[in-house]
Amino acid sequence: MARMKKQEPAPAPTSLVASAARIRGGFSMGTMRNSTADHWHEEVWRYYDAIGEFRYACDWIGAQLSKALIYGTVETADGIEKVVDGNIPEYLSALFGNADGRAEMFRLIGIHMSVTGECYIVGYPDPDPFGEGGDKWEIAASTKCVRPATDSPSDSWKVNDVVLTEVPNDKVLAIRLWRPHPKEPQLSTSPAKAIRTTLHELYKLSQHVSAQIDSRLAGAGILLMPSTMGLPTPPATEGPAPQVQKANNADDLMKILMEAMARSIQNRDDASAIVPIVVTASAEDIAAVKHLTFWSELDEKAIELRKEAIGRLALGMDMPPEVLQGVGDSNHWSAWQADESAIKSHTEPLLKIITTGIAKGYLRPLLSEDATFDGERLGAYSIGADTSEMRLRPNRSKEAMELHALGVLSDEALVRECGFEPDDMRDDAQLATWLTRKVAAGSTTPELVEAALKELGVSLTVIRPEAPAETGTEGRPGPSLEDHPATGIPDQEVSDRRKIARDEGRVPSADVERKASLIGASEQIVIRALERAGNKLKSKMQVKPTCAAADIYKFVAATDTEFLLDDAWSHVPLIAARARVSPSGLEALLADYTAKLLTSQEAHSFEKFSRHLHAGIVSTSMEAAA
């Protein structure tokens, strides 16, 4: 379906506000605000400056939106498609100058939408003669963008308390973005509007606690002393000419107390810092001393009430409550789920309001003046937002390692899921060095040996068994007469038949059967030893493993193999006795094979194990006489 004309696209304009007729239409997308109905805007801005929790919530939403990336879209019969041709990508790239400018644009819009639910995108030619030229973009609050009251040249736009006297009025693009109120769509609404009472309570409770801290009367109270209380003569002060201080009333006592406290603060080594001040009086006078405090029940509940208000604030904002309240037992997965919930339930709907407003007030007016655009379907074009940069990817490194070990994932996918870059992978030279070190460490396999020898430049002639010559397919033989029932003693017949079959090589000998049984039983012991080692390695894993215990060693490096294989060979003597081999020799072979698996983290295979066991039996002459 043709969405753009066939002719060559014209270059995008360097200044998007060069055409007054084009950009002034941007203001038509928004209805002029009713300042009398939006009187609460200034109130919630005061709360934004005074309440840290509210400011953090709004800034968190703005930070989320700043990661969004915008692109052009068109609605077709097949759904919403991304537009990559024509001037639309260039128009969007010119918005706020560059990607950094658009990130700051979304951040500020997110804050405004959380506080008042309304703001303006303002663009105009940069009037600074020493600037770089081009367009200047700003985000203005709902009360900080004032349109000229008249068409008089002396009446200019006022944006963020700056009067644009040097900018012609018809060169200013002002796009109103707002979250429509469901009942009165021309007015804005926001999360802060619904929780103004909660914000007011939190603000007043914080003021109350602050006043209690600053108030000496509330903090220290009043000490009531009887007038008949007489105080003894205090000890003489230190100095060349000791002076005796007389204290016969409460005022004198307070002066002495203040001096004693000041001396103890100035000199902590002074004994007076820990020696109590002695006051003697009659029992009646001491009983008459009272200390009045001015704490109320509200003072005891203020902290609890503030916590409750913060909880209500967290529930009222367009964000997961865990962001403000926190969750003590959160982990990587719960944090990912909270982010996913925030993006799907809050961020993406808010982004849709913003991108729709920008498309209506910015993109479509530009497209209507674009000579290369087919204007018949102007309303089908809009702006989409990519939120992939917002999402906290789940930790899939464990699953990636398992799938890589099974040969399903590539090396690049494993590196990516573990949080590394492709450049962190070994190059060919580093891989060759690693293979050589593995060979030198003794953790070898036939594949490693062959690769290391090639790296070292050693060429060996590998003798491989010749493949059997191809022959024609013989016809199916007829039934043998030997399989027919025969008269005679059954046991003797069976014995004679087995002897004939053994002589012809169709039945394995006792030695062959014994060796096969030894390999099978020994393999089960090795698998059981790997399983015991895996259970001990579980304590090192931060996540619950999803693989079998016998495979855990492939993902967790083993250092102390002696500890992991402790008490793993208790059944070896029984197997060795049946196979007529040395128990200690068999145990040593199995322990050596299993330890190499644990340290090299290589997968166990029956073929590799049988070669290892057979080579060990032959080289150590383990077989005993029958």
pLDDT value for 396: 75
The listed range with the strongest mean pLDDT (355-364, 438-447, 511-520) is 355-364
**Rounded to an integer, what distance in angstroms lies between the CA atom of residue 123 and that of residue 135?**
7
Cross-strand partners of 137:
123
* Cβ 519 vs Cβ 613: under 8 Å: yes
Q: Which of 49-63, 77-91, 290-304 has the lowest mean pLDDT?
A: 290-304
With cut-offs at 50, 70 and 90, classify the pLDDT of residue 457: low
Statement: residue 601 has pLDDT above 80: yes
pLDDT value for 147: 86
Burial class (CB in 10 A: 0-12, 13-18, 19+), 590: buried
Helices 606-620 & 583-600 angle (0-180, nearest 10): 140
Strand segments (E) across 3-134 = 69-76, 79-82, 118-125
Give the type of residue at 439.
V
Give me the mean pLDDT over the 348-359 stretch.
93
Statement: residue 321 has pLDDT above 80: yes
Helices 40-50 & 52-65 angle (0-180, nearest 10): 100
pLDDT value for 1: 34
* Cβ 212 vs Cβ 218: under 8 Å: yes
CA distances from 474 to 127, 382, 469, 477 (A): 98, 74, 14, 8
Statement: residue 436 has pLDDT above 60: yes
- The residue with greater pLDDT, 22 or 181, is 181
pLDDT value for 246: 52
CA distances from 244 to 230, 238, 537 (A): 16, 10, 78
Helices 196-214 & 40-50 angle (0-180, nearest 10): 40
How does pLDDT run across 529-538, given as a tens digit for each residue?
888 888 888 7
Q: Other CB atoms closer than 10 Å to residue 100's CB: what's the count?
A: 10
- The residue with greater pLDDT, 473 or 595, is 595
**Rounded to an integer, what distance in angstroms lies between the CA atom of residue 123 and that of residue 17?**
7
**Rounded to an integer, what distance in angstroms lies between the CA atom of residue 12 and that of residue 367?**
11
Strand segments (E) across 110-229 = 118-125, 135-141, 145-146, 158-159, 162-163, 173-178, 222-224
Statement: residue 587 has pLDDT above 50: yes
pLDDT value for 423: 83
- The residue with greater pLDDT, 319 or 452, is 319
How does pLDDT run across 157-176, given as a tens digit for each residue?
999 999 998 888 888 999 99
* Cβ 538 vs Cβ 550: under 8 Å: no
**Rounded to an integer, what distance in angstroms lies between the CA atom of residue 297 and that of residue 268?**
37
Cross-strand partners of 176:
120
Give me the mean pLDDT over the 557-580 stretch.
82
Residue 336, Cα to own-chain centre: how many angstroms?
Answer: 6
Give the type of residue at 184.
E
Q: Where are the domains of the chain?
A: 20-187+332-390, 222-292, 491-620
pLDDT value for 181: 92
Half-sphere exposure of 460 (CA within 13 A, CB side): 12
Give me the mean pLDDT over the 438-460 stretch.
64
Q: pLDDT averaged over the chain?
A: 75
Per DSSP, 373 falls in state: B
Give me the mean pLDDT over the 242-255 stretch.
60
Cross-strand partners of 139:
121
pLDDT value for 609: 84
Q: Which tokens is 472 given?
A: 């024609």
Q: Which of 100-114, 169-183, 333-347, 365-379 has the lowest mean pLDDT?
A: 333-347
Give me the mean pLDDT over the 25-50 stretch.
69
pLDDT value for 31: 46
The listed range with the strongest mean pLDDT (141-150, 267-276, 284-293) is 141-150
Statement: residue 518 has pLDDT above 70: yes
Statement: residue 310 has pLDDT above 70: yes
pLDDT value for 6: 38
Q: Which of 66-75, 93-102, 350-359, 363-372 has the lowest mean pLDDT?
A: 363-372
* Cβ 188 vs Cβ 118: under 8 Å: yes
Strand segments (E) across 77-132 = 79-82, 118-125
Give me the mean pLDDT over the 553-560 stretch.
80
Half-sphere exposure of 488 (CA within 13 A, CB side): 10
DSSP string computed for 347-394: IHHHHHHHHHHHIIIIIHHHHHT-TTB-GGGGGGEEEEEE-GGG----
Statement: residue 155 has pLDDT above 80: yes
pLDDT value for 159: 92
Q: What is the largest CA-CA distance in the chain?
A: 141
Buried b (16+ CB within 10 A) or exposed e, 231-263: beebeeeeeeeeeeeebeebeebeebeeebeee
**Rounded to an integer, what distance in angstroms lies between the CA atom of residue 249 and that of residue 228?**
8
Torsion sign over Cα 531, 537, 538, 541: negative
Give the type of residue at 291.
H
DSSP string computed for 30-86: SPPP-TTTTTHHHHHHHHHHH-HHHHHHHHHHHHHHTT-EEEEEEEETTEEEE--ST
pLDDT value for 219: 53
- Please identify which residue in the block is written with the tokens 């024509």: 86
Could you report how far apart the first and last alpha carbons of the chain are, in Å?
87
- The residue with greater pLDDT, 274 or 43, is 43
DSSP string computed for 445-497: -HHHHHHHHHHHT-------PPPPPP-PPPPPPPPPGGGS--SS-HHHHHHHH
Whole-angstrom Cα Rg for the chain: 43
Give me the mean pLDDT over the 214-226 stretch.
62
- Please identify which residue in the block is written with the tokens 């059944």: 571
How does pLDDT run across 117-133, given as a tens digit for each residue?
999 999 999 887 676 66
Q: Which strands make up the sheet holding 381-386, listed edge to edge?
A: 79-82, 69-76, 381-386
Strand segments (E) across 359-436 = 381-386
pLDDT value for 275: 67
